[in-house]
Each structure stands twice: as structure tokens, then as C-alpha cells.
Amino acid sequence: MPVLSLGEVACLATVLGPLSHLALWTRLDIDSESHKLLVLANLIVLLSPFALYARGLSWFEAISYSFISQICYAASLFASIGAYRAFFHPLRTYPGPFWARVSVFWKVKQFTKSDFQAFEVIDSLHREYGSVVRIGPRQLSIKEPSAPAIIYGTGTECRRLKHLENLRKNLQSLSDPHEHKARRTVWEHGLRAQACQSYLPQINEITNRLCERLASHDGQQVFVNDLCHWYTFDVMGRLGFGRSYGQLETGKAHPAIEKVQNFLKAGVIAIQFIWVINFLHLFPSLEDPMEDLRLWSEQLLEERARNRRSQEKEDEERDLMSYVYQSRNQVDSKWPMTEKDIQEDAVTLQIAGSDTSYSVLVNSCHFLANYPRLQTILRAEILQTFSESHDNGVAPIWSKLASTQYCPYLDAFVNEILRMFPPVPQGTWRQTPLDHPIELEGYVIPPNTIVSCPIWSMHYDERCFRQPDSFIPERWLDRAHPDSQADLLVDKRAYMPFLLGGMNCAGKYLAIMEIKVCLAKILKQFEITFPKTQSISGISEIQAQRTRDENLRKRTKDYLTMWAGEVEVCFRLRSTTKS
Ligand code: HEM
């Protein structure tokens, strides 16, 4: 005979819910610990009927007591957590949608409802609630020009969250600033300007392959997205492993890359549930979607090592890995860089370096086709550069393409693309210190808060960029330039496509170089137009341009990195190129 009735057990469990929440859950770092609590809770659920049966209850009684008590406990625990987050949490004074305070499910629902236009969701929240919005139970989105320096800048007190590092340890996930710095220093040897310039012949070779493919479709409608994706991955493969993925030759996506892409699409949802990621970490035997790419890179790195036994060979054609292997031993001995670390990072770099630059190229093709006047100006600038570089080597040409003195429009064009379509639209998360708050523009941000600056919204902030919805590269031209519209650029602090500080984009120089070289070669050889089927009639050309830009924005998706909207244009070989 049970000591307590079923009703009494239900009441007791209901009281225990909020009590354990206050005693335990509010004190723990719930994101890091909840997976352990989840395992414990499951064990209790499984074992409690047996325990009760052993105490003399019948099976029926044991199961009903266990079931009722667990339901009551879980319901009151979740109610307590919800009430705490909504009304008593240190972030309670920050504005934001009610349900966003209670659970991350709200954000996930909005992201999926918007068809993965997370940047639009966040942007509309800022328009409704102001520059600091609570977008999750312990997360603030901050759209203030001074915020990036405080959150991401050099010497910041904010840190990366640890959960991604628990899943995979690589340059992009390391949370300890010292360990990160040690690892990053190694990669920086191969990513600084001087090193990147030594890769110009390889980039040039892959760009020529892209142009050959475009020439083979002379004047026909081309779906640009796949081509640009293949191009950027082929470049990264060539620089990272000494061998391109060969996608531009075969006209097909590499299977390992395709698999990773599908996985990354789910990333924007998965990353919201920090505790799920921690939970997955407990099951190392789960299939790893990155495994194929990792194995492939392992094989290529071995092949590369075989081909480059001698130092002369290493010096003959420098690639990213040659710098890494050369400098890995200089890393602080506290954090030695193993072969496996190099492989992990190499894979990360492949993705970080391709999934970002590709969207810039796709969007560039759209804007070049949409603004023929700009195309003409850019082409003139580039042809002048090529004609002045009598020595036909790529390095002298690049030094001019990179210079705002020689190619101010190219620079302004790329800046404006990166402003309007930043490849990492939501920015990345950081966490405020665990033991004290930080202050930002008069806001006191409590300890252990997840903070982020939404790059997309910052780039459309009217306080910083006048006419933010219009594509106006001239805003980036120096005031001395006759076409300058520098007044449209009010506060440059809000411009941060690569973020800033010690954990910002490590491949910034390489990215800009690859994009400019590629655009210059395309513009030199081709006229870019929209196919006739895409013409919009009945409105002025200016309105049609706006409509096309707006439609591109509607087609753009945000899977942590930007997935460019589909762009189809015609590349017609210029008559001088043909002859
Ligand atoms: C236009 C192109 C690109 C953009 C807009 C871009 C942007 C970004 C952003 C916003 C981050 C996150 C920084 C943070 O968490 O604070 C990042 C990280 C990173 N990017 Fe890029 N990226 C681009 C191209 C590249 C390329 C070509 C590479 C090639 C090597 C690269 C390598 C990396 C790496 C290694 C990281 C992690 C850095 C670290 O944790 O230290 N990126 N990038």
C-alpha cells in the first residue's frame, strides 16, 4: 500500500518543479549543463517504476505513480522556467516579443516561417523594438554603431560560446582567446597579404577556367549560383590542398561538398539549441556529415605531402598549407598543433572561404547586369589597369586592382555589395563575462548574456548609411573623386562584413583578392546582361532596377552564411576578346 495517495504525489511533484528550478537550474550554466540533466532525468524516468515496484507497489501503481509525478514535475518545472524568463530574468527590462523571452522556439519558428530569411526577421524586430532587442531567453541583438568594437573588438571582454567547440574543435570554434590566438597565428602566416599574393597564379588559373566555361555559353542564359560556388570551392581546394575539386571542369558539385552544404542548411536551426548541440556531443558515434570532406582532405593532404617531399618543391609553389606546416612549430607549446588539428582547420577554411565569397560573386553578377552604366565605368577602369600593366604577370595587375588609386570604382562596388548583401548576415554570437556586466551606450548588459550585432541590420541603418536600400557604390568613393557621394556614408563603424577584433575573418585579404581578380577578368572579357525573358515592362528603368534588386533580396536565404538568390544572366564575349 503506497504511503501517499496519487493526488498527494502529484502535488508534491508540482511543488518540487519550481523548487528545483530555483535551487538548481537558475544557478547552473543551463546551456552547458542541461544535457547532463537531461540524461539524469531520462534515467529517473526509466528507473523509477522499478524502484517503486521494489518498494512493494504493484506494477500498475508503480507505473502510474512514476508517470503522474514526472508529468507534474516536468509541467511545473517548465512553467517555472517560463515565468522566470518572462518576468524575473535579468534581461526582463529589455524590449522584445513576449515569446522570444520564454523560449528559443519562438525565434526558430520565425526563421522557418520567413523561409530562412532570418536577417529580415531580426531587422523587423529592430524596427519595432529599437536598437537593443531581446531575441531569446538570454540573447540580445544590438544594432548600435558603437557596439561591434565593444563586443568583438580587440581587447573585448566578451567571448565565444563554448558549445560549438564541444562539438568540433577548430579555429572557428575555439572559445579560449589565448588558445585561439596561438592557433590563429599559424594560419595568419598563410593568410596575410604577402602570402596571399603568392597564390595569384593559382587563383588566376582557376579564374581562367571559370571564364572558359562562361565563354562556352557565349550569350546564353547562365545560372550563376552553381558556377560561383564551384569556383570558390575550387580555389580553396587548390590553395588548401594543392588540388582543386575539379567542379568547374566536370560541371558537377563534389559529393563531399554537397553533403556538407545540406548539413549546413540545418545549422541555422541547430545552432539555436545550444543544449542540443551539447547533447549530440555525448554520442560521438553519430554519423558526422563532415566526415566525407574530412576524409577527402586527409587524403589530399597526404598526397600533397608525398608530392612535396623536398623544400625546393615547397618553395616553388607556395600554398596555404606550406605556410601552415612551416610555422606550426612556432605555436605556444601549451597548445601544440597536431596533424588532426590541421585537418580540422583545413576543412573549416574550405567552407569559411567558399560559402562566403561565392554569394558576393553571384550578387555582383546581378548588380552588373542591373546597372549597365556601372558596368561600363568598371570595365573602363579595369581595361586601363590591364593595358598599363605591360608586364603580363598577375602580381602587377593585382597591385593595381587592389589600389583605390587605380581602381576606386571596383573597390567601391565590392564594398557596396558587401554592405547590401553581407555573406554572414546575422553576425556571430559572443557571451558577456560570467561574473560582471558590461556597459554599452548606457545599457547595462548582465553577465552570461549572449550578444550579437546583426550585420545585415547594421548595414541598413539609416543613421549610418543614407538611402540604405539603394545600390550606390559612389558612397564609398573618396570625396576627391568627381563621382563621390561620400555624404551617403555617415558612420563607417556600422560597416563590418568581416566583423572585427582578434576573431574576425582570417581570410579577409584573400577574399577581397579573389573577388576582385575574378570580377576584373569577367568584366574584361564579357558583357553581362539579363536575358530578355527577365525584362520588366510598363515601368521606368529606375523602377525596374529597384524591383529587380528587391526581388533578389526576397530570394536571398540565410543559413548562417548567405545563400544568394538565384541569378541568371548572359555573358556575351566582348568583340575585342573574340578577335
Ligand atoms: C567576402 C568573403 C568573406 C566574408 C564576408 C567573411 C566573413 C567572415 C565572418 C563574419 C567571420 C566570423 C568572424 C567572427 O566570428 O568574429 C569569418 C570567419 C572566418 N573566415 Fe571569413 N569571410 C569571407 C571569406 C573568407 C575566406 C576567403 C577565407 C579563407 C581563408 C575565410 C576564412 C575565415 C576563417 C578561418 C574564419 C574564422 C576566423 C577565426 O575564428 O579566427 N573567410 N569570416
CA of 379 to the centre of ligand 1 (A): 28
Task: State in Å, rounded, how far the first CA of the chain is from the last one.
Answer: 99
Strands 132-136, 139-142: parallel, antiparallel or unpaired by DSSP? antiparallel
The secondary element (H helix, E strand) that includes residue 186 is helix 177-191
Mutational pocket test of ligand 1: of 156, 321, 453, 505, the residue with most ligand atoms within 8 Å of the beta carbon: 505
Q: Which three-class secondary structure string do you get for 198-267?
A: CCHHHHHHHHHHHHHHHHHCCCCEEEHHHHHHHHHHHHHHHHHHCCCCCHHHHCCCCHHHHHHHHHHHHH
Scanning the structure block, which residue is given the C-alpha cell 585561439?
A: 180
DSSP category for residue 126: H
Q: Does the beta carbon of 17 sit less than 6 angstroms from any atom of ligand 1?
A: no
At residue 166, the pLDDT reads 75
Alpha carbons 257 and 230: distance in angstroms, whole number: 10
Scanning the structure block, which residue is given the C-alpha cell 600554398?
A: 319
Q: Do 523 and 379 form a contact (C-beta atoms < 8 A)?
A: yes
**Three cell numbers written together for 450:** 549572449
**Three cell numbers written together for 346:** 583545413
CA of 49 to the centre of ligand 1 (A): 52
Q: Do 95 and 141 form a contact (C-beta atoms < 8 A)?
A: no
Ligand 1 atom closest to Cα of residue 510: 27
At residue 2, the pLDDT reads 65
Alpha carbons 270 and 264: distance in angstroms, whole number: 9
At residue 398, the pLDDT reads 82
Q: Do 506 and 187 form a contact (C-beta atoms < 8 A)?
A: yes
Radius of gyration of the chain measured on its C-alpha atoms? 27
Mutational pocket test of ligand 1: of 203, 241, 321, 356, the residue with most ligand atoms within 8 Å of the beta carbon: 356
At residue 285, the pLDDT reads 64
CA of 506 to the centre of ligand 1 (A): 5
State the sign of the Cα–Cα–Cα–Cα dihedral 117, 118, 119, 121: positive
User: Dmax of the chain from CA atoms?
Assistant: 99
**Three cell numbers written together for 9:** 504525489
State the sign of the Cα–Cα–Cα–Cα dihedral 260, 262, 263, 268: positive
Strands 139-142, 450-452: parallel, antiparallel or unpaired by DSSP? parallel
**Three cell numbers written together for 408:** 576606386
| Cross-strand pairs, 445 | 438
Nearest Cα to Cα of residue 117 among 566, 422, 555: 555
Question: 394-401 and 200-216 helices cross at what angle (nearest 10)?
Answer: 90
Torsion angles phi and psi, residue 207, rounded to 5: -65, -40
CA of 550 to the centre of ligand 1 (A): 27
Query: pTM here?
Result: 0.92
Alpha carbons 409 and 414: distance in angstroms, whole number: 9
At residue 269, the pLDDT reads 83
Alpha carbons 2 and 56: distance in angstroms, whole number: 8
CA of 8 to the centre of ligand 1 (A): 58
- Atom 37 in ligand 1: residue holding the nearest Cα: 172
Alpha carbons 254 and 242: distance in angstroms, whole number: 16
Alpha carbons 163 and 550: distance in angstroms, whole number: 36
- Atom 34 in ligand 1: residue holding the nearest Cα: 506
Q: Report the SS3 class of residue 57.
A: coil
Q: Does the beta carbon of 510 sit less than 6 angstroms from any atom of ligand 1?
A: yes
Burial of residue 521 (number of CB atoms within 10 Å: 0-12, 13-18, 19+)? buried
Q: Does the beta carbon of 453 sit less than 6 angstroms from any atom of ligand 1?
A: no
Residue 439, by phi and psi: left (phi above 0), alpha (psi -120 to 50) or beta?
A: beta
The Cα angle at residue 286 between residues 344 and 561, in degrees rounded to 5: 50
CA of 183 to the centre of ligand 1 (A): 15
At residue 281, the pLDDT reads 67
User: Which residues have CB under 8 Å from 154's CB, separation 6+?
Assistant: 500, 501, 502
CA of 31 to the centre of ligand 1 (A): 26
ipTM score here? 0.99
Nearest Cα to Cα of residue 509 among 211, 225, 200: 200
At residue 275, the pLDDT reads 73
pLDDT tens-digit readout, 88-108: 999 999 999 999 999 999 999
At residue 579, the pLDDT reads 43
Question: Which residues of the chain fall short of a pLDDT of 70?
Answer: 1-2, 28-33, 35, 281-289, 309-316, 389-393, 577-579
Ligand 1 atom closest to Cα of residue 512: 1
In the sheet that holds 139-142, the strands lie side by side as: 132-136, 139-142, 450-452, 430-431
DSSP category for residue 446: P
Burial of residue 330 (number of CB atoms within 10 Å: 0-12, 13-18, 19+)? exposed
The residue type of 452 is S
Q: Does the beta carbon of 164 sit less than 6 angstroms from any atom of ligand 1?
A: no
Q: Do 407 and 413 form a contact (C-beta atoms < 8 A)?
A: no
CA of 509 to the centre of ligand 1 (A): 10
What are the b/e assignments for 434-448, b being 16+ CB within 10 Å?
A: eeebbebeebebbeb
- Atom 26 in ligand 1: residue holding the nearest Cα: 353
Query: What number of H helices and E strands is found in the chain?
Result: 27, 11
- Atom 18 in ligand 1: residue holding the nearest Cα: 505
